[in-house]
Every structure is written in C-alpha cells, then in structure tokens.
C-alpha cells in the first residue's frame, strides 16, 4: 500500500514546478505523507518537506515531473532501487520516451495507483569495473567512452579494443564507444545510428562512433549476460554515464569490464497507456499529413 510519496522536477522549469507544488497539496489532501526533493523544496520555499534522494530509504513512490533528463537524474540520485517511479510528461522537446502520463491525467492516475490498478516494469541498468577493481556508478541509458581531450579540430581519436565473451569484435580508432541498455537505445545510441530495442529484451548495444574501418560501424546487440571488455590503447579517455563524467582519467592499458547492474529501475505502468512501439512511433514522427 502506498502511504508516502516524494516528488521531483527541474527547478528551473516553471510549469513543472507549479504542477509539483499543486500536486503535492493534492496528495496531502488524499492523506499521503509527501516529500519534495531538496532542490525543489528550496525553490518552492517548502523546506520542511525536503529530502535527499540519495539518502531516502522508506518511500513508497517517487513522482518525476519532467522529461527523460529529469528521470535519469532521479534514477541516478535514488540509491534505493526498490522505490517505483511514476513519470509525468513535462518534456520540453516533446521527445521523452520514458514518461508515462500527461499532467492533466495525473490526479486520475494517482487514484488508480492507490486502488492498486497498476503494474511494475523493470528496466535494466548498466555498470562497469575499471581494471577489475573500481566499480563505477550505474547508468540507466548508457556508458560512453570518449577522448579526455576537449572537442575540437585537434581532438585525437581513441584506439580501443572491444572483446565480447573473450572474442575480439573491434580493434580500431574511433571518436567514442557507446554501451547502451535497451532504455538507452532511444538516446545517444540512436543518434549514432544504433537500433531501437524493446525494453522487454535482455540486451545491450555496443556501438562504435565514427570508426575508421567501415565494418565496425555496424552495432552489436548482445545479451546482458555477455562478458564485455574494453581496452584503451591511446590516448587518455574519459567515461560518461548518463551524461555524468566519471572523475578519473582512463589511461592507456586500462581495461573496462561492462556488465548488467544488479539494480533495476522500477517504473509504474498503467493499463491502456500507450505501449512502447506506439510511443516510439509518436515521438519519432515529427509531423503527419493533415495534422498540426
């Protein structure tokens, strides 16, 4: 039974902040114990409701009012992976793939959830170990390996070797390597020419970005149980997880072992809401004849 709820939203997005304030009051009227992520609470001058997502343990539901970026932020801050997430669509670019409901349907939705009319969808996270010692934070979308040098005309290409289950599948110079989850298949991997994969598959995408050799431009789709190792030859590299840079430079000779995290993200799903394929079609179709 859901008794406690936390809300978060982009503090600099006025529409999402107004919704969050109003919806928090609505949830309190329903008798729920309500909290606000600390940055949101401070922006709304409701510090008595503030909590840190990285420290919260006893919570029944997290509501994210935002787009995919806000969801990634919440997932990466939330250390307790057992807390389910309800995503309310405030995507400013209208291309959010993870959001579940529209703001105008939020009140009806929460009443359905309180009545138990919902299901939980698990989404895999990806992680890695550096030199079989240092565990990296989890990522919901992807891990990107790129040059540690600033982007520019003189930015050197990376020389990497990629092994899957002890078989070399790439040894080349490239701009970056993306290791993506199925959730991340509609993010940077897609922009780099990767495939869209339904979240129901237990798979990762390994995508070389702008490799010198043509054959390496084709992405690999591999089981999440695969043993994936990336060796950095030259020059130094950096690792970016869901847009967050890992604060350790990766040096030549370092090996990154990429694997499925034991922590999955739980999303609230409702019956009758657009399924994955329909959502992708709508988001990727910019315009249609006869529609504005």
Is 33 domain-assigned?
yes
Nearest 5°: the CA angle 41, 75, 123 is: 145
Residue 68 catalytic?
Answer: yes
Q: For position 98, what pLDDT does the model report?
A: 75
227 and 142 within one domain:
yes
253 and 225 within one domain:
yes
Rounded-to-integer distance, Cα 194 and Cα 188, Å: 8
84 and 190 within one domain:
no
277 and 246 within one domain:
no
> What's the length of the chain?
292
| Active-site residue (options: 15, 68, 124, 275) | 68
Residue 43, both tokens: 């922006």
- Alpha helices for the chain (secondary structure H): 14-29, 38-43, 68-77, 106-114, 188-191, 276-284
Decide: 98 and 267 in contact? Cβ < 8 Å.
yes
> In CATH, what number is assigned to the domain containing residue 70?
3.40.50.10330
213 and 104 within one domain:
no
| Residue linked to tokens 């959001």 | 99
109 and 10 within one domain:
yes
Q: Which residues of the chain have pLDDT under 70?
A: 92-96, 149-154, 272-274, 286-292
Decide: 226 and 103 in contact? Cβ < 8 Å.
no
Is 290 domain-assigned?
no
Q: For position 291, what pLDDT does the model report?
A: 40
Decide: 267 and 273 in contact? Cβ < 8 Å.
no
106 and 148 within one domain:
no
Q: For position 90, what pLDDT does the model report?
A: 86
73 and 143 within one domain:
no
Residue 48 gets the label, from left (phi > 0), alpha (psi -120 to 50) or beta, of: alpha
Q: For position 287, what pLDDT does the model report?
A: 40
Decide: 3 and 32 in contact? Cβ < 8 Å.
yes
91 and 155 within one domain:
no
Q: For position 96, what pLDDT does the model report?
A: 64
How many domains does the chain divide into?
2
* Beta-bridge partners for 36: 7, 50
Q: For position 126, what pLDDT does the model report?
A: 96
pTM: 0.87
249 and 134 within one domain:
yes
277 and 210 within one domain:
no
Q: For position 57, what pLDDT does the model report?
A: 83
57 and 77 within one domain:
yes
Contacts of 130 (CB under 8 A, 6+ apart): 136, 248, 250, 254, 255, 256
Residue 114 lies in domain:
4-123+264-284
> In CATH, what number is assigned to the domain containing residue 135?
2.60.200.30
């Amino acid at each position: 039974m859901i008794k406690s709820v936390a809300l978060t939203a982009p503090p600099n997005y006025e529409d999402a902040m107004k919704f969050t304030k109003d919806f928090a009051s609505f949830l309190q009227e329903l008798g729920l114990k309500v909290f606000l992520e600390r940055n949101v609470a401070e922006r709304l001058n409701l510090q008595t409701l503030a909590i840190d997502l990285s420290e919260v343990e006893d919570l029944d539901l997290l509501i994210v009012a935002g787009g995919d970026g806000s969801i990634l932020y919440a997932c990466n801050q939330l250390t307790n992976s057992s807390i389910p997430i309800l995503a309310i669509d405030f995507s400013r670019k209208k291309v959010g793939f993870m959001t579940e409901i529209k703001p105008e349907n939020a009140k009806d939705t929460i009443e359905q959830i309180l009545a138990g009319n919902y299901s939980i969808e698990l989404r895999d996270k990806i992680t890695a170990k550096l030199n079989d010692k240092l565990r990296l934070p989890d990522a919901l979308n992807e891990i990107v390996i790129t040059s540690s040098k600033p982007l520019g005309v003189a930015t050197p290409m990376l020389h990497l070797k990629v092994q899957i289950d002890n078989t070399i599948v790439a040894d080349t110079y490239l701009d970056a390597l993306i290791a993506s989850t199925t959730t991340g298949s509609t993010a940077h991997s897609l922009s780099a020419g990767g495939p869209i994969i339904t979240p129901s598959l237990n798979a990762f995408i390994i995508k070389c970005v702008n490799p010198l050799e043509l054959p390496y431009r084709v992405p690999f789709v591999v089981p999440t149980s695969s043993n994936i190792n990336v060796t950095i030859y030259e020059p130094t590299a950096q690792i970016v997880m869901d847009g967050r840079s890992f604060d350790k430079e990766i040096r030549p000779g370092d090996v990154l072992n990429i694997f499925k995290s034991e922590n999955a993200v739980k999303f609230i799903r409702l019956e009758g809401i657009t399924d994955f394929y329909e959502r992708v079609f709508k988001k990727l179709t910019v315009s249609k004849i006869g529609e504005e």
